[in-house]
Structure 1
Amino acid sequence: MTLVGPHLHDLAVSRLRRSYAALPQGEQVRLAKGTTNLFRQRQNLAGGLDVSGLRGVVSLDIEAATVDVQGMCTYEDLVAATLPHGLVPCVVPQLRTITVGGAVSGLGIESTSFRRGLPHETVLEMDVFTGAGEVVTTRPGEELFDTFPNSYGSLGYATRLRLLLERVPGRVSLRHLDVDDPGLLAKTIGLVVETGEHDGVRVDGLDGVSFAPDRHRLTLATWSDEAGPTSDYTGQQVYYRSVAERDRDLLTMHDYLWRWDTDWFWCSRAFGAQHPVLRRLWPRRWRRSDVYMRLLALDRRFQVADRLDRRAGRPQRERVIQDVEVPLEGLPEFLTWFDAEVGMRPVWLCPLVTSRDWPTYPLEPGRCYVNVGFWGTVHVGPTAPEAPRNRAVETKVLELGGHKSLYSDAFYDRETFDRLYGGDHLAAVKRRHDPDDRLPTLYDKAVLRR
């Protein structure tokens, strides 16, 4: 990938400023972009900020292991620039088209999060285009920087971020551990997080899949130069099935980073992409999360699944697409509750530990949480529009002292939402950097879907 360089970056920021100035006074500011990894349906608004020139890597310092990257650059393009030099971002979210700015303002996560935290925790500085139309350079410990994670554009948009990179070898050795009891699952996760190893072998990446109430698989990843043939899950084989079927595996670092993207974890099966015959006919370049996202948008637009359900006499579906963080000690209770109340499998498990307090997503520093990700539908009948399962998830997570990511539908009342996501603090910072309220509030975006 070609670096855009500081000059082209400055031109792109100038274009962004002009697009802001061209917006009618008082009109709400938003990005002009046609793609998203959000699952919140939003109102369609015309116009927007021109971010077309903010999709690349500005500069790479191999010796210092840092990179300056534009906010709309995808992790796919960022990794393409850094990996040839044996460097990767410390946390690389699972899906190729997640942008760096999106992961920082919307909280990405991956298997290295148990030792590196969330993506914003290895950001050294960033430039934020605020609601006042200004570019503000901010660093850790400063009010704007510390409030930006989980702000989802309510404070502005990152135009440039400087990230710390991690040096890596070319391969990743995997061990898949079978655990039959959720209590033992939590204990095993806790020991790996505490020691950074398992059976005397270093663990660099840790995540897992819960396939059934009595079958959980933890994947322990170790950065490696191990020789031998590597697996390829971009072809006929499906990665999540290998987690259930194999005890050991070997991937290239590149394929490990994107192991979940090819089949959108396991969600590509909804489109038939895992059927052996159809998979042979499905071009490899179309086996990726952004393609499935477009197919999902078509399904929503034409209500294909709903029409088929009605024709077959099946109850109405509720979409239950969420990522939640529960304290490690509450994981067994949550999984048991989830089986009884929602009944969706598989679910993804990803431990994380944050290094410090972040006001808009206040997890306890040094405490292990487990991200539980579940993405599918449940036939609930005529109450589906009221989202009973999603509301129940919110209540249970709150009861356990956890948190819920805001990339999907949220149903909290304003008071509860502000208490959970630092509403008063966020509002104060927003007043300083968006005095005319050109940007929607976090509650507007996450709950009211504006």
Structure 2
Amino acid sequence: MPLRRGWDQHRAAVDRLCSSYAALPDGVPVRLAKPTSNLFRPRARSAAGLDVSGLTGVIDVDPATRTAEVQGMCTYEHLVDATLPHGLIPLVVPQLRTITLGGAVTGLGIESTSFRNGFPHESVLEMDVLTGAGEVVTTRPGDDLFDAFPNSYGSLGYATRLRITLEEVPGHVSLRHLRFDEAGMLAKTLAEVVETGRYDGSAVDAVDGVGFAPDELYLTLARWDDGAVGDDHDEAPPSDYTGNRIFYRSLQQRETDRLTTYDYLWRWDTDWFWCSRAFGAQHPVVRRLWPRRWRRSDVYHRLVRLDQRFGIADRLDRRAGRPQRESVIQDVEVPVDRLPEFLAWFDEQIGMRPVWLCPVVAQRAWPSYPLEPGVTFVNIGFWGTVHVGPEAADAPLNRAIEDKMLELGGHKSLYSEAFYDRDTFDRLYDGPNLARVKAIHDPDDRLTTLYDKAVRRL
């Protein structure tokens, strides 16, 4: 059931948050006391945490205006549970259930509707932010704090309330999987779909893709489907990929598909895209024994944290005589016309497949993540490890990816490790403007800077 909050409950929760902030001694790093995280950068441990326990719900959904008032720590799982009964969803719903709305706005969220709707922060009409000065500030598009907030990762404060725009959706989604034998034709087709919003005479409401190999790539075109099974419809019941069947494998097995809207939104969460295979969760025997309620991204994420804490994979590699691993977990954006070049380089230098492909078009300029508005970029997501040997600690592959981004005019998200020098980082993410806005709203430097968070891991 969705977590619903009234306005009185919300105000009481904000008061508790402010009190916990004021109680922190000077010099103590400020962190959120969150039970889950979707970050993949190591960071210094901190015992203190802000009390956000009452900021995890939906305050109000207004079907008439297609808006919702949402608390900053509300997960998209709970947000969708509150909006979908009204036939509404956020304009962009990131792939993983436990990503929070505030996290997707201060970080970067993306999904298959991003070619139409951009990033999650572009549907925010207003938000309240707890700043480094301990004040809750209401900010709107055009304000310095609002405009610098996306991709600031808490370095400018934490969103406590956001008013967002919603869009109407029917109960089902029809899918069409297109196979390509090379990346050039996929990029050309993707650019046309983004420009026209159509393919082969039909509307396209959402699009993403998967590259399994250099000669096996797929685009999945989604269309909102308001038809019901029965009553003049011949469709079979919608597919279910929360059980023994695995969604990403279906792209290779069938040309068309149909899911409920709910299952479409979380199609990637059940197997954490394809990463659940690292835990054996895709083996038929293991899958039958693995409870459905534990087939979700936050469970796999906790298993990764356990491995990092105890070095289980490293111990097994040493025992088997395998080279040391480098973790290569990144999402990068490149212009659509440079996608084939990047994938060719990636196959030669990194050699990791599958990769996720998702187009995004920024609706306006955002200083802290400056993608040119109206230009089609493609997000390429790749998450895994590569055996590189003793130099793994120096992250040679991740550094090479960063260099390639500079060459191609691309960008990379900062939810994972970054290695840029300070000057390059400030140039890419508009460090001077971030510093200016931070000086206004965090004059005593109580919040960690973006560079310290993303690169120095503080």
Distance 1:436 1:146, change over 3 A: same
Say if 2:405 is the partner of 1:404.
no
- Matching residue of 1:388: 396
- Matching residue of 1:180: 181
Distance 1:50 1:2, change over 3 A: closer
Unaligned runs of 5+ residues in structure 1 are none
Unaligned runs of 5+ residues in structure 2 are 230-234
Q: CA deviation at 1:246?
A: 1.1
CA deviations on 1:233-264 (whole Å, 9 max, x unpaired) are 00000000001211000000000000000000
* Matched pairs, number: 450
CA distance in 2, matches of 1:64, 1:225: 21
**SS at 2:35's partner residue?**
coil
CA distance in 2, matches of 1:25, 1:422: 28
- Matching residue of 2:220: 219
Q: CA deviation at 1:415?
A: 0.3
Q: CA deviation at 1:301?
A: 1.1
Q: CA deviation at 1:48?
A: 1.7
Paired amino acid for 1:421: Y
Say if 2:300 is the partner of 1:292.
yes
Paired amino acid for 2:445: D
Q: CA deviation at 1:302?
A: 1.2
Contact 1:326–1:369 (CA<8 Å) still a contact in 2? yes
Aligned pairs for 1:355-370 (under 5 A) are 355-370=363-378
**SS at 1:137's partner residue?**
strand
Say if 2:422 is the partner of 1:414.
yes
CA deviations on 1:286-330 (whole Å, 9 max, x unpaired) are 000000000111111111111111111111000000000001111
Q: CA deviation at 1:3?
A: 2.1
Contact 1:29–1:131 (CA<8 Å) still a contact in 2? no
CA distance in 2, matches of 1:343, 1:168: 38
Say if 2:302 is the partner of 1:280.
no
**SS at 2:93's partner residue?**
coil
Q: Which moved more, 1:224-233 or 1:62-71?
A: 224-233
- Matching residue of 1:192: 193
CA distance in 2, matches of 1:403, 1:36: 22
CA deviations on 1:198-256 (whole Å, 9 max, x unpaired) are 00110000100000001110000000023331000000000000012110000000000
Q: Percent identical across equivalent pairs? A: 72
**SS at 2:31's partner residue?**
coil
CA distance in 2, matches of 1:281, 1:133: 48
When normalised by structure 1's length, the TM-score is 0.99
CA distance in 2, matches of 1:27, 1:284: 40
**SS at 1:436's partner residue?**
coil
- Matching residue of 1:435: 443
RMSD: 0.7
**SS at 1:161's partner residue?**
strand
Paired amino acid for 1:274: Q
CA distance in 1, matches of 2:31, 2:314: 31
Paired amino acid for 1:368: T
Paired amino acid for 2:10: H
**SS at 1:371's partner residue?**
strand
CA distance in 1, matches of 2:197, 2:275: 31
When normalised by structure 2's length, the TM-score is 0.98
Q: CA deviation at 1:172?
A: 0.2
Contact 1:28–1:440 (CA<8 Å) still a contact in 2? yes
Q: CA deviation at 1:32?
A: 1.6
Q: CA deviation at 1:35?
A: 1.8
Say if 2:307 is the partner of 1:305.
no
- Matching residue of 1:67: 68
Q: CA deviation at 1:116?
A: 0.2
- Matching residue of 2:268: 260
- Matching residue of 1:125: 126
Contact 2:3–2:78 (CA<8 Å) still a contact in 1? no
Q: Which moved more, 1:218-227 or 1:263-272?
A: 218-227
**SS at 1:383's partner residue?**
helix
**SS at 1:19's partner residue?**
helix
Aligned pairs for 1:4-403 (under 5 A) are 4-226=5-227, 227=229, 228=235, 229-403=237-411
CA distance in 1, matches of 2:400, 2:28: 36
Paired amino acid for 1:418: D
**SS at 2:383's partner residue?**
strand
CA distance in 2, matches of 1:378, 1:82: 40
**SS at 1:263's partner residue?**
coil
Paired amino acid for 1:387: A
Q: Which moved more, 1:247-256 or 1:221-230?
A: 221-230
CA deviations on 1:332-377 (whole Å, 9 max, x unpaired) are 0000000000000000000000111100000000000000000001
CA distance in 1, matches of 2:141, 2:303: 39
Contact 2:130–2:137 (CA<8 Å) still a contact in 1? yes
CA deviations on 1:260-291 (whole Å, 9 max, x unpaired) are 00000000000000000000000000000000
**SS at 1:339's partner residue?**
helix
CA distance in 2, matches of 1:137, 1:2: 23
Q: CA deviation at 1:2?
A: 4.8
CA deviations on 1:10-47 (whole Å, 9 max, x unpaired) are 00000011101111133332212232100001111111
Distance 1:317 1:145, change over 3 A: same
